[in-house]
Amino acid sequence: MNFIVFGVVAPIAYFILRFLVKRLVMNFLQKLKRRTDIKNMTKCENCGIFISEEDIKFVDGRNICNKPECKNNV
């Protein structure tokens, strides 16, 4: 009887619970990301500051921010 409980039922229950918890956490994180305004950030290769991808330009194969010092050094 112990073999059936600890050898068969417990591992199956463990994997089912693990699957359900993982699914709940992933859904929660996806909902949280959709509701907030999390922006993707990119590093300026000239000055090293992280800026949102909307405010950065791709010039000569490099990511450059909108600051005048960075624009002039390209």
Q: How far is CA 22 from the centre of its chain?
A: 16
Q: Over the stretch 44-62, which tens digit does the pLDDT of each residue have?
A: 888 888 988 888 888 888 8
Indicate the pairing of strand 50-52 with strand 41-43. antiparallel
From 11-15, 34-38, 65-69, the region with the lowest mean pLDDT: 34-38
pTM: 0.46
Predicted confidence at residue 65, as pLDDT, reads 85
Residue 50 C-beta-side C-alpha neighbours within 13 Å: 4
Of residues 73 and 58, more confidently modeled: 58
